[in-house]
């Protein structure tokens, strides 16, 4: 056992000396390799963390949302629908939701104005609870600076700030302006007894499908969105986005694959001669293959470690700064959020096998071919 270890160590030492001889080329290979792994690992870690956040946080969303559709478009829903649905057995509570968008002509941001479902959370008249991004995009000079919203030129509505929502919940609340019902209706000049949509809470989750079916029969024009559908939308959205990011990295991955295949499979004349000399001085085929395995293993494992550690730092210490512009798109408001750090062992293993093994395998075939040939022929 000791002699085997000593032998492997000697092989590793020889491999490192050989790698050091082509220092610039091999350092370049290691860095590009690490960069490719960094991009793929960042996308994976980021999407997984976002998916988890959406799953936990949106588990508290209303069980069913009822939207009124008029001419195929979302429209206000009359309040008397509430009384109609209230009779259905299994419905724990039913509340009209009031929410709408407000485009701020000052800075081009879109805010979401909303009346909290829980009356205890509603701010007093003339006051608003605002999300984390509002002070930032409106450059509010002091903590209790009032918020002025202008619906039309010359119009100015003032709201005093009751509370600023913490950045802990930025991912769900960054653009929110919470008002009480009277202020909300006055701001949007909304008639009494209409709502944006209706939120249902259902006692037994197993009854959701039956209740949805009953409501569907009662309100054939309505669109019903269940909490499961909301969750599915987000799971799919992040998988898709992760795929898009990996696809964007695809060009560089492809370039790397060509580069690695060229480097690993096409032996240079110098390398072939080196193998010939090694065989001539008494190395056997197994030694040569072991030496090349060491080379592939050291380079790919080093790149894997470097890429993965950097990806972890990028996503969880620097808030995935490189992806922010992709996700932000054209929006003015982008939440200042931190994700819950997490490493998925299965994903990490998959990444390891997808990056380290193919490179090592690619080095073996040509080496085996050169190593089994006659030294005299190889050196010629």
Partner 1 sequence: MRRTRIVFGLLAAGTATLALASLHARITTAPERARMARSAALVRAVGLTDLALFTEARFTRNPALADLQTAFQDAPMSFEHFPSGTFAPRPAAGFGRGELRFGPEEAAR
Tell the smallest beta-carbon distance from residue 372 to partner 1 (Å): 27
Tell the smallest beta-carbon distance from residue 83 to partner 1 (Å): 19
* Comparison of 129 and 378: residue with beta carbon closer to partner 1: 129
* Comparison of 151 and 214: residue with beta carbon closer to partner 1: 214
Tell the smallest beta-carbon distance from residue 140 to partner 1 (Å): 18
Rounded Cα–Cα distance for residues 310 and 31 (Å) = 12
* Comparison of 72 and 266: residue with beta carbon closer to partner 1: 72
Torsion of CA 193, 199, 204, 207, to 10 degrees: 90
* Comparison of 340 and 372: residue with beta carbon closer to partner 1: 340
Length of the chain: 380
Tell the residue number behind the tokens 């919470």, with chain if given. Answer: 178
Angle subtended by helix axes 345-372 and 250-265, to nearest 10: 30
Tell the smallest beta-carbon distance from residue 22 to partner 1 (Å): 15
Tell the smallest beta-carbon distance from residue 257 to partner 1 (Å): 23
Rounded Cα–Cα distance for residues 223 and 215 (Å) = 10
Tell the smallest beta-carbon distance from residue 378 to partner 1 (Å): 26
Nearby residues of 35 by Cβ (< 8 Å), 6 or more positions away:
252, 307
* Comparison of 9 and 369: residue with beta carbon closer to partner 1: 9
Angle subtended by helix axes 227-248 and 250-265, to nearest 10: 50
Tell the smallest beta-carbon distance from residue 196 to partner 1 (Å): 10
Q: Which two tokens stand for residue 167?
A: 């950045």
Q: How far apart are the first and last CA of the chain?
A: 38
Q: 211 burial class (0-12, 13-18, 19+ CB within 10 angstroms)?
A: buried
Q: Which residues pair with 223 in a beta bridge?
A: 67
* Comparison of 133 and 363: residue with beta carbon closer to partner 1: 133
- Please count the other Cβ atoms lying within 10 Å of the Cβ belonging to residue 362: 19
Phi/psi at 343 (5° precision): -120, 120
Tell the smallest beta-carbon distance from residue 148 to partner 1 (Å): 20
CA 262, distance to chain mean position in Å, is 33
Rounded Cα–Cα distance for residues 193 and 200 (Å) = 17
Tell the smallest beta-carbon distance from residue 53 to partner 1 (Å): 7
Rounded Cα–Cα distance for residues 110 and 121 (Å) = 23
- Please count the other Cβ atoms lying within 10 Å of the Cβ belonging to residue 238: 20
* Comparison of 61 and 140: residue with beta carbon closer to partner 1: 61
Check: CB of residue 68 under 8 Å from CB of residue 340: no
* Comparison of 197 and 378: residue with beta carbon closer to partner 1: 197
* Comparison of 265 and 347: residue with beta carbon closer to partner 1: 347
């Amino acid at each position: 056992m000791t002699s085997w270890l000593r032998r492997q160590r000697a092989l590793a030492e020889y491999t490192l000396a050989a790698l050091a001889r082509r220092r610039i080329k091999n350092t370049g290979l290691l860095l590009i390799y690490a960069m490719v792994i960094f991009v793929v690992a960042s996308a994976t870690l980021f999407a997984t963390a976002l998916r988890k956040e959406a799953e936990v946080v949106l588990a508290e969303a209303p069980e069913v949302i009822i939207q009124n559709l008029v001419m195929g478009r979302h429209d206000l829903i009359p309040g008397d629908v509430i009384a109609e649905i209230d009779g259905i057995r299994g419905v724990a509570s039913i509340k009209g939701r009031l929410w709408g968008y407000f485009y701020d002509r000052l800075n081009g941001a879109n805010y979401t104005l909303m009346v909290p479902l829980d009356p205890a959370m509603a701010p007093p008249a003339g006051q608003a609870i605002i999300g984390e991004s509002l002070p930032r995009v409106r450059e509010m000079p002091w903590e209790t600076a009032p918020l002025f919203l202008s619906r039309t030129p010359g119009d100015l509505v003032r709201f005093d700030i009751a509370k600023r929502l913490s950045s802990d919940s930025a991912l769900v609340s960054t653009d929110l302006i919470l008002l009480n019902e009277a202020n909300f209706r006055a701001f949007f000049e909304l008639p009494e007894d209409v709502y944006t949509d209706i939120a249902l809470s259902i006692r037994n989750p197993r009854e959701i499908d039956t209740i949805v079916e009953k409501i569907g029969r009662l309100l054939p024009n309505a669109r019903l969105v269940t909490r499961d559908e909301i969750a599915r939308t987000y799971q799919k959205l992040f998988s898709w986005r992760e795929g898009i990011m990996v696809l964007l990295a695809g060009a560089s991955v492809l370039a790397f694959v060509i580069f690695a295949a060229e480097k690993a499979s096409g032996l240079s004349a110098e390398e072939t001669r080196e193998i010939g000399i090694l065989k001539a001085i008494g190395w056997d085929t197994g030694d040569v293959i072991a030496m090349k395995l060491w080379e592939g293993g050291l380079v790919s494992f080093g790149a894997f470690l470097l890429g993965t550690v950097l990806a972890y730092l990028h996503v969880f210490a620097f808030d995935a700064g490189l992806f922010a512009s992709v996700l932000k798109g054209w929006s003015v408001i982008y939440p200042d959020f931190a994700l819950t750090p997490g490493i998925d062992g299965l994903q990490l293993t998959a990444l390891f096998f997808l990056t380290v093994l193919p490179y090592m395998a690619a080095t073996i075939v040509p080496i085996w071919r050169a190593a089994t040939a006659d030294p005299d022929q190889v050196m010629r």
